[in-house]
Amino acid sequence: MDYVRQVSTDLDSASSMPLHPAARESYLAALERGYADPRRLHGSARDARLLLDNAREATAQALGVRPDEVSFTATGTEAVHRGLLGLAHRGLRDGLPIAHTAVEHSAVLHAARWAGTPLSVPVDTHGRVILSDLPSTAGVVAVQSANHEVGTIQPVEAASEQTGAPLFTDACASMGRLPLPDGWSAAAGSAHKWGGPAGVGILLVRKGSRWRNPFPDDDRVDVRTAGFENVPAILAAAASLQAVVAERDEVNVRHRELIDVIRARVAAEVTDVEVVGDPVDRLPHLVTFSCLYLDGEALVHELDRRGFGVASGSSCTSSTLTPSHVLEAMGVLTHGNVRLSLQRDASRQQVDAFCDALPDVIAGLRSRVGL
Amino acid sequence: MSTPEHALEPALELDCRTMLCPMPVIELAKHLADVEVGQTIAVVATDAAARVDVPAWCRMRGQEFVGADTATDGAARYLVRRLS
């Protein structure tokens, strides 16, 4: 299939990343060697099982957990559903609600609403959960590792000390880039957000925690999941995770500096703009800002036309036509919103080109509405 | 809040009922100068984003967000006092 694609700068790694180069070779090799059913006993099946076990071992090592705490799911969303609802099981039976921070990913919110009437815990203007508002009892408390829209790091360990409820941590926004926090009973990650292939989620269940499969059982390798394992993708996810963890100190320093440049230049060179999220205690690669009087969809399209791929939390870009629940919970401007998240090889040149183009793009769009 | 009743009666009310975000805030910005400093301007909007964006606009533009009530038809009404 041939198609023409203009040269553009993808500043949306928080939505998805290309496959890490270190994972390509293991992916291709595993497509040849890892196709068989890892539950069978013949030679090809044993090959597939070996690759799967290796992937589990490598993932556990990269994340600093035990191999028997690692499960591979079909997506990050599935890992979130299983992690959250598996912990909530006992509490829901006793009539306790699921509690979650007001800024959790929609996968958490949808799962919590599916199970009952959840309790939403407020956040401050940086999007950080207000610890004193956490309930002392709940079926489960969901506190993300870091916010996916504004980058603010959440106090997961402090939250677990504050509440007596089991803690679920959606770590999709930070897994690989940052060490896992302590304090969770179950956690979730998503491979395509660290440069693994799509179609691999990570479910972590702490040994000894009261987790129970919330969905029908299946007779597969791992009792916490269901369905035929995508062994090649799982192996590639593990290989990319190892590579990302090995290089993260260097990458994070570089990303942090580049984001500091964007934060400073946007605040200095654009009028009527609000850069949101914690300026220091944040994801290294992500920044969000909102511009007065702008339609988020128009902003995304205009930046795309100039060769920059960005995301937006403004309502006009969402299917529901409601503003980002994250920005809303923080009480910050929801329209004219742009989220930038750097790819692994992001450069100063790319960042400067974006910052150079931005004031003109914004001025052009504002002049269309007479401001 | 101990604001006297008459202070909440806006000098100007903008009907932004059918508008999607960010149009209600654009209308507010365009018509702020139509009221005197110290007077109140109201925005009636059905778009969900206005609930957050009108107070955010006030904070960013140095104006006072007085509060929200409802218009006679039940639509949300946001009250802003012009400070400058």
Out of B29, B48, B49, name the one closest to residue A371 (CB): B29
Please, what is the angle between helix B50-61 and helix B23-31, to 10°? 40
Whether the CB of A80 is below 8 Å from some CB of chain B: the reply is: no
Chain A to chain B Cβ contacts (< 8 Å): 66
Please tell me the distance in Å from B68's CA to the nearest CA on chain A: 15
pLDDT at B1: 47
In chain A, residues with a C-beta closer than 8 Å to the C-beta of B27 are none
pLDDT tens across A108-149, in order? 999 999 999 999 999 999 999 999 999 999 999 999 999 999
Contact A274 B61 (CB under 8 A): no
Asked if B33 reaches chain A (Cβ–Cβ under 8 Å), the answer is no
Q: At A53, give phi and psi (nearest 5°).
A: -65, -40
Please indicate if any CB of chain A lies within 8 Å of the CB of B48: yes
Each residue of B20-34: pLDDT tens digit?
Answer: 989 999 999 999 999
Query: Which CATH architecture fits B5-81?
Result: 2-Layer Sandwich (3.30)
Q: Is the CB of residue A84 less than 8 Å from the CB of residue A168?
A: yes
Segment B30-57, tens digit of pLDDT? 999 999 999 999 999 999 999 999 999 9
The beta-carbon neighbor of A335 closest among B30, B49, B51 is: B49
Nearest to A162 by CA among A119, A139, A133: A133
Confidence of residue A371 (pLDDT cuts 50, 70, 90): confident
pLDDT at A317: 59
Average pLDDT, chain B: 91
CB contact under 8 A, B22 and A331: no
Local confidence band at A314 (pLDDT 50, 70, 90 cut-offs): confident
H-only helix segments in A152-195: 156-162
Distance CA A118, CA A103 (A): 13
Mean pLDDT computed over every residue of chain A: 95
- Which amino acid is it at B61? R
Band of the pLDDT at B2, cuts 50, 70, 90? Answer: very low
How would residue A4 be classed by pLDDT, with cut points 50, 70 and 90? low
Cβ atoms within 10 Å, residue B63? 20
> pLDDT tens, A336-369?
999 999 999 999 999 999 999 999 999 999 999 9
The amino acid that residue A277 corresponds to is G
Task: Give me the residue from A316, A321, A331 closest to B52, CB to CB.
Answer: A331
Tell me: pLDDT of A2 over 80.
Answer: no
Kindly report the number of other CB atoms within 10 A of residue A16's CB atom.
Answer: 13
Element containing residue A309 per DSSP (H, E): strand A308-309
Residues 6+ apart with CB under 8 A from A125: A276, A330, A331, A332
B-chain CB neighbours of A322 within 8 Å are 48-49
Q: Which residue in B25, B30, B52 is closest to A292 by CB distance?
A: B25
Domain ranges in chain B?
5-81
* pLDDT at residue B68 greater than cutoff 60: yes
Report which DSSP code applies to A133. G
Neighbours of B30 (CB within 10 A): 14
Interface check B26 vs A, CB under 8 A: yes
pLDDT of residue A319: 60
Task: Give catalytic status of residue A355 as yes or no.
Answer: no
Please, are residues A14 and A287 in contact by the beta-carbon 8 Å criterion? no
Do the chains contact at A335 and B60, CB–CB below 8 Å? no
CA dihedral A102, A251, A307, A309 (to 10 degrees): -20
Helix (H, G, I), strand (E, B) or coil at A195: coil
